[in-house]
Copies of this chain bind each other. A is one copy, B any other.
């Protein structure tokens, strides 16, 4: 390595973060009733409270433009200081042109077109791939001192049926560089990659996936086991001590729905029991003993084991996992953004007590790709401090200012989007009434399938206009091609 540069590259990781999610959402409780599902099926069965969805003026491109613009502004980052921009997404709008190229509009204005990176794709894992790529870039010989920027953006929608309540939508942006308050413990990392058809999108004309829910859940847990076992092995080889869940302060899981997160943490606890970790107490040992001779396959199918392990892990779940579940429960599955929305939830809920703590992350993308990795936290400074990140995330206010939509309206929107997916030559209703100031939105798709976006006026502009121009509403400046 070029030693002269080493000094600038300690603690490479996440310097800053912002999240955007649509203001339109539907309560799982009302969706349950609307769908004629048994009471509690979505709220307790899936563990979800609410689900965000894109109205006809929003998509993964508009959401990512909104969140990148917001991050640059709120953390006062000059767009010229970005040297790499990578996007993780599984929401395909164009099969060739990357979402990254749309985001280049933000940087072309100031003459910065020398920005590496494209889109990473494999189901919900693409954001993690983009993030790891960006961190590697900062640590590589080709780093030029500028920041990396990672965007996770997805709109998760499902055909009518049991998977529909597991949708969601959001975009997250993360700024990457050295001396980060959220840095990577590079050597504690393990992946599990395999060829499986648990969830995939082979019907190219439809936005909806093909899902084998039961297989997908088993694949998730198998991948979790495999990653955790490798992770522990690597940790133990390097550190010399056995790793157990007591060695991390938080566990953050990719969250298709909250119930699977509960099962996942219980599964780690069961792993610790099977690995004879001293951290597993006697009461738990006794309760898990009946399951110690199960084969792997049996253990994934046993409802009794599921119940017993969730019960013995419950007190630790409340401490080590619960703080990460805020946004995923309120927004739903955000695909690539899901894991990082869960991380954002921990940062938001616990920022004042995270100094020196460790967060273990588990990323899963069907098909399948998965990685478990470790983050080390420190308070950071000024704009790039945990407390400032929490204040920019502004989760409570963002959640509270949302508009609860009736299930009928949600279903109607999805119907409309089915017709518009991959379509050309249409205009949207341009209804921006629910969008926060500064939000990008889709105005039309022309006869050549080209997409045009506009931006709702920023807060200051909106305020100024209201003051000086008799309060006429303005939709801001053109931002099309």
Contact = CB atoms under 8 A, between A and B. Distances in A.
Interface of A: 1, 3, 6, 9, 12, 85, 90, 92-98, 100-105, 107-108, 113-123, 125-126, 129, 132-133, 135-137, 139-142, 184, 186-187, 189-197, 199-205, 209-210, 226, 230, 365-369, 371, 421-422, 424, 448-450, 481
A189 B98 contact: no
Contacts of A97: 122-123, 197, 200-202, 366-367
Contacts of A368: 101
Contact of A195 (B104, B123, B132): B104
A221 to B, nearest CB: 15
Contacts of A129: 116-118
A195 B1 contact: no
A90 B101 contact: no
A77 to B, nearest CB: 18
Given A97-B201, A116-B132, A118-B122, 18 more contacts: A85-B193, A92-B92, A92-B95, A96-B201, A97-B202, A100-B193, A105-B195, A113-B193, A114-B192, A116-B129, A117-B129, A118-B126, A118-B129, A133-B133, A141-B187, A202-B449, A204-B422, A205-B205
A95 B135 contact: no
A119 B450 CA distance: 25
B119 A120 contact: yes
Nearest to A99: B122
B202 A424 contact: yes
Contacts of A12: 141
A116 to B, nearest CB: 5
A192 B100 CA distance: 12
B197 A448 contact: yes
Contacts of A142: 132, 135-136, 139, 184, 186-187, 189
A108 B139 contact: no
List 9 tightest A-B contacts by C-beta distance, closest first.
A202-B449, A98-B122, A97-B367, A95-B201, A136-B140, A96-B201, A118-B122, A204-B422, A139-B140
Contacts of A140: 135-136, 139-140, 186
A140 B186 CA distance: 9
17 contacts: A96-B121, A96-B200, A97-B122, A97-B197, A97-B201, A100-B122, A100-B369, A101-B122, A101-B195, A101-B196, A101-B367, A114-B190, A114-B193, A117-B129, A133-B136, A142-B187, A205-B205
